[in-house]
Amino acid sequence: DIARMKSLSLSSIILFLLCIVGFSSEAIAQDCLKVTKKGVVKVAGLNKKGTCGKRGVLLSEIVSNSGVSVTGATGPQGPAGPTGATGAEGPAGPGLQSPLSFNGATFRPRHGSVDWSTSSSCVYQSGGTFNSVFNLALSLPNGATIDSFKYFYFDSSSTYDTELYLTVYDLSGVFHDEWDLISSGSSGDGVAERSDINHVVDNSLYTYVLNWRGRVAAGSQVKLCGVQVYFTPA
C-alpha cells in the first residue's frame, strides 16, 4: 500500500491537495497521508512516536517528491514603521499688505494761531493763517515697506484744492523725502491714491509725518476726511 501511495502520479497528488481546504506549510510538516486496512486514504497526525507508522507517509514527503510548492499562511501585519524625516522648509510666501487708517479729525494744526473745526470725521480750517498745515505723526514698523497711500477728502470748491503729503524727516528735523496727493474737482467726496512709494521704514534714522494743507478762504468747502497708508511688513 505504501509503495502504491508513493507511486501515485503527480497530477493525482495535486488534485488531492487541492481538495483539502486551509492547508498550511505547518500542517503539511506534521500530518500524514495514511491508508487504512480497508484501503481508505485519509489524513492523520503523527503517532505517539512522532512518525506516520507503517501505513502512512508524511505529507511533506509527498509534496517534496511532487515538486509542488506550498506557501504558508500570511502572518499578521507588523507594526507601523517610524515616521519619516521632516522635509525641507518651503520658500517664504509673499508679505501681507496692511493698511493704517486715520480719520481727518485726528489731525491738528502745526501752529497755534489757526482756527479749525471738525465735521463728522473730517477737519477743515475755519480761520487764521492762509494755507496752514495740519499734521499727524506716523508710527510704522521698522523694516516695513511703504507701498501706497490714499487721501479721502471733501472738495466742493471750484477755486481751491488741497494737498496731503507723506513726509520723511531725519532725526534733526531736516526734510528727507516726500510724496503728495491733491484733491480735485468740486463734486464733493473724493479719493486720491499714490502707489509709487516703495520706501523701507528705518526708525533709527527717520520720522514719518502726514501733512495736510488747509484753505482758510474755502472754509468747509475743502476738508480732510481720512488717510490710509499701505505697507508690507518686513
More confidently predicted of 31 and 168:
168
* Whether residue 27 is found in the same domain as residue 112: no
Domain end point (choices 66, 85, 119): 66
Do residues 102 and 62 both lie within one domain? no
pLDDT confidence tier of residue 11, bands split at 50, 70 and 90: very low
Looking at the predicted structure, is the pLDDT value of residue 14 above 50? Answer: no
Q: Are residues 165 and 116 in the same domain?
A: yes
Based on the domain organization, do 124 and 222 belong to the same domain? yes
The pLDDT, as a whole number, for residue 15 is 43
49 pLDDT higher than 60:
yes
Least confident of 3-12, 68-77, 201-210: 3-12
Confidence band for 195, pLDDT divided at 50, 70 and 90: very high
| Together in a domain, 39 and 139 | no
Residue 86 counted as domain residue: no
Task: Note whether residue 80 is domain-resident.
Answer: no
Do 37 and 121 lie in one domain? The reply is no
Same domain, 109 and 224: yes
- Rounded distance, CA 69 to CA 141, Å? 76
Residue that terminates a domain, selected from 45, 66, 87: 66
pLDDT band at 3 (very low <50, low <70, confident <90, very high): low
| Residue 82 counted as domain residue | no
Same domain, 199 and 109: yes
| 228/122 same-domain check | yes
Model pLDDT for residues 19-43, shown as the tens digit of each residue: 554 455 555 556 776 666 666 666 7
Domain extent for 199: 98-232
Is 137 found in the same domain as 39?
no
- For residue 183, pLDDT over 70 is answered with yes
9 within domain boundaries: yes
Per residue in 105-161, pLDDT (tens digit) is 999 999 888 999 999 999 999 998 778 999 999 999 999 999 999 999 999 999 999
From CA 122, how far away is CA 222, in angstroms rounded?
Answer: 10
From 15, 44, 66, the end of a domain falls on 66
**Domain CATH for 158:** 2.60.120.260
One domain for residues 122 and 202: yes
Do residues 62 and 19 both lie within one domain?
yes
Count structural domains, the chain: 2
pLDDT of amino acid 112: 81
Per-residue pLDDT, 146: 97
Least confident of 111-115, 119-123, 188-192, 208-212: 111-115
User: Is 87 part of any domain?
Assistant: no
**Distances in whole angstroms, Cα of residue 210 to Cα of each of 15, 25, 227:** 97, 89, 9
- Which pairs count as long-range contacts for 63-70, CB under 8 Å and 24+ apart, including other chains? 63/13, 63/17, 63/28, 65/6, 66/10, 66/13, 66/14, 67/10, 68/10, 68/13, 68/14, 68/17, 70/17, 70/23, 70/24, 70/25, 70/28
**What are the tens digits of pLDDT across the range 66-107?**
555 555 557 788 888 788 788 777 665 555 677 999 999 999
